[in-house]
Amino acid sequence: METQDKIFIGIDPGVNTGISVWHKSEKKFSILQKTSIIDSFEIVKGIYEFNKDKEITVIIEDARQRSGSVETRLGAGSVRRDCQIWEEFLKYNNFRNFRFQKPIKGMTKLSREQFKKITGVDCGNEHARDAGMIVFGY
């Protein structure tokens, strides 16, 4: 696939799931929002369905890979379970191009102002910003 055909989907799992869609060729987000895990599954399936000619990579922030204190490593139990559910969903639907990544220090929980300074995009939702930072700049 050519570089211009790449789409990156960022997922910040949780009760409020952040989802972002970054288009490499256009260097812009087409989706940057907070939603439920079920709605985010539908969004991902739709992106795959309507972009069969493009290379799509899903990157999920993996709370299971956190380091630090016991509380930080464990994270919220539901977030850890959501990561497992995402893995099951992606495998079940035969999405082969996905990976889980450890939260990157300094790139999560950015303020609205910090996010805008880095990306040029004004985004009022913390979960959407976290999802955006997962894929921004690819």
pLDDT digit string (tens) for 84-96?
999 999 999 999 8
Adjacent-strand bridge partners of 59: 10, 99
Q: Which two tokens stand for residue 55?
A: 């290379």
pLDDT of residue 66: 61
- Structural domains of the chain, count: 1
pLDDT digit string (tens) for 4-40?
579 999 999 988 999 999 999 999 999 999 999 999 9
- Segment 128-138 mean pLDDT: 95
* Integer CA distances (angstroms), 65 to 80, 84, 104, 129, 131, in order: 9, 12, 10, 20, 16
pLDDT digit string (tens) for 94-113?
998 999 998 877 788 899 99
pLDDT of residue 2: 46
pLDDT of residue 68: 55
pLDDT of residue 1: 42
Cα–Cα–Cα angle for 37, 38, 44, nearest 5°?
A: 85
pLDDT of residue 80: 82
pLDDT digit string (tens) for 33-81?
999 999 999 999 999 999 989 999 999 998 777 655 555 555 557 788 8
Q: What is the distance between the alpha carbons of residues 71 and 68, in angstroms, rounded to a whole number?
A: 8
| Residue-range definition of the domain harbouring residue 83 | 3-135
CATH number of the domain that 52 lies in? 3.30.420.10
Adjacent-strand bridge partners of 17: 35
Chain center to CA of 104: 13
**DSSP-H helix ranges across 1-138:** 37-50, 70-74, 77-92, 112-119, 126-135
pLDDT of residue 78: 78
pLDDT of residue 5: 78
